[in-house]
Amino acid sequence: MKKYQIKVDRTICIACGVAPSMCPQIFMLGKNNGKNSVIAKYSQQTSEDTSLGIVSEDLYDCARQAVDACPVQAITIEEI
């Protein structure tokens, strides 16, 4: 099964809530600064600047929709 790395650039995230509303299985607004981050289940690392996570192929479509909907292109996804 394929795996994908999700990266949220929290320095450009505007905390609009689009990603968590479209794909709450992966994304949430962070408690520390309100910026988008990958939920703990899939998180690899979260800092003030970046949130990284790994998801399986079954969550790709959900993640892709959130990536495409982000108004500031703060989220990327790539196969690993």
Query: What span, in angstroms and rounded, lies between the C-alpha atoms of 40 and 42?
Result: 5
Q: What is the pLDDT of residues 32-52, one digit of tens each?
A: 788 999 999 999 999 999 999
Bridge partner list, 5: 54, 78
Q: Partners of 43 in the beta sheet?
A: 53
Res. 31: pLDDT tops 80: no
Which two tokens mark 78?
A: 């790539």
Considering the chain, what percentage of its residues have pLDDT values greater than 90? 91
Partners of 50 in the β-ladder: 9
- The pTM of this model reads 0.92
Q: What is the pLDDT of residue 72?
A: 97
**In the CATH scheme, what architecture does the domain 3-79 have?**
2-Layer Sandwich (3.30)
Query: What is the three-class DSSP state of 8?
Result: strand
The fraction of the chain above a pLDDT of 70, given in percent, is 100
The helix (run of H) or strand (run of E) holding residue 80 is none
What's the pLDDT score for residue 65?
97
